[in-house]
Structure 1
Amino acid sequence: MSVRRLARSSGEPIAAAGVPEGTVLYDGVCVLCSAWFGFVAARDPDARFRFTPIQSPYGRSLAIRLGIDTENPGTNAVVIGGLAYLRSDAGLQILRRLPGWSWATGLLGVPRPIRDWFYDLVARNRYKLFGRTDTCMVPDQILARHILSATTPVD
């Protein structure tokens, strides 16, 4: 088993040197995932989190680097401090950094296998429960500030 696959299955963060701080990788055709993007963007006025869909060239290369299946991604990812967090850790790492959501840090006390079991259940059924689009959404001006691509300058 590769180091990336082992890290992904164990839930441990994966080294992500060179990936901009706050990069969030998400499934751009997933309605739930796109709603998550909108939720975070609305609560992140300083655009600390920058999103890239797995379906974009940059997102695809990042997903491959992190060992995420580009055809059927079962996780989002966020890069914090040079480490990529996956599954429930990714969501909680984002939430705890949003104004008014620091209480989410307490959820890290729930054992990862339990958190990830629920995460995986929703991830496996996300298209059935919430739907799927044929293309990634076109962001409005507010959301556009939070888009990251290979050519986006990062502060």
Structure 2
Amino acid sequence: MSPSNPPEPDAGGAIVVFDGVCVLCSGWVGFLLRHDHARQFRFTAMQGEAGRRLLDAHGLDPDDPMSFLLLDATGARTDSDAIIAVLARLGGVWRIAAALRALPRGLRDAAYRRLARNRYRWFGKREACHFPSAAERERFL
């Protein structure tokens, strides 16, 4: 990764850009770390250099992010499409989440955006970004 180019997902892998100070978002990353047995996901906080570049490169405002970003070989996804794709990639029982695609995207995204707008008020905000443990560090950009 050069200073001007955002990172790219590994072959067969994906990058999740998340809000590192959001308690809910950090919990989501913890969930993924526990359930991603194939170790396909890598993570970067929106507040970091790599996260900011990825958001900017995909048309999201790094200073006012209302979504997390999923990047994989098929492209970039945000909002409810990103959540569904992440869960489906986990395999097993989590693939059931793909059934949510039957709901109109406008409805799904409206629910996602309400959650995103209220995430700090409902779940809290940390003073600093999630810091991975030594065992998790290789999964973070």
**Match for 1:60: what amino acid?**
R
Stretches of structure 2 that go unaligned for 5 or more consecutive residues are: 1-5
Alignment of 1:107-146 (within 5 A): 107-146=100-139
Instruction: Note the C-alpha offset of 1:137.
Output: 1.5
| 1:30 matched residue in structure 2 | 22
Instruction: Note the C-alpha offset of 1:82.
Output: 3.9
After superposition, give the CA deviation of every residue in 1:34-69 in whole Å (9 maximum; x if it has no partner). 100000110012210101101111111111111112
Stretches of structure 1 that go unaligned for 5 or more consecutive residues are: 1-16, 150-155
Instruction: Note the C-alpha offset of 1:72.
Output: 2.0
Instruction: Note the C-alpha offset of 1:87.
Output: 0.4
| 8 Å contact kept, 1:19–1:82 | no
| 1:57 matched residue in structure 2 | 49
Instruction: Note the C-alpha offset of 1:139.
Output: 1.3
| 8 Å contact kept, 1:47–1:145 | no
**Aligned equivalents of 2:85 and 2:108: distance in 1?**
13
**TM-score, structure 1 as length reference:** 0.79
Are positions 1:47 and 2:30 aligned together? no
**TM-score, structure 2 as length reference:** 0.87
Alignment of 1:41-120 (within 5 A): 41-100=33-92, 101-120=94-113
**Aligned equivalents of 1:144 and 1:105: distance in 2?**
29
**Aligned equivalents of 2:79 and 2:59: distance in 1?**
13
**Aligned equivalents of 1:97 and 1:132: distance in 2?**
28
Aligned residues between the structures: 132
**Match for 2:25: what amino acid?**
C
**Distance verdict in 2 for CA 1:142–1:98, change over 3 Å:** farther
- Tell me which stretches of 4 or more aligned residues in structure 1 moved more than 3 Å: none
**Aligned equivalents of 2:7 and 2:132: distance in 1?**
26
Deviates more, 1:18-27 or 1:122-131: 18-27
| 8 Å contact kept, 1:38–1:143 | no
Are positions 1:19 and 2:4 aligned together? no
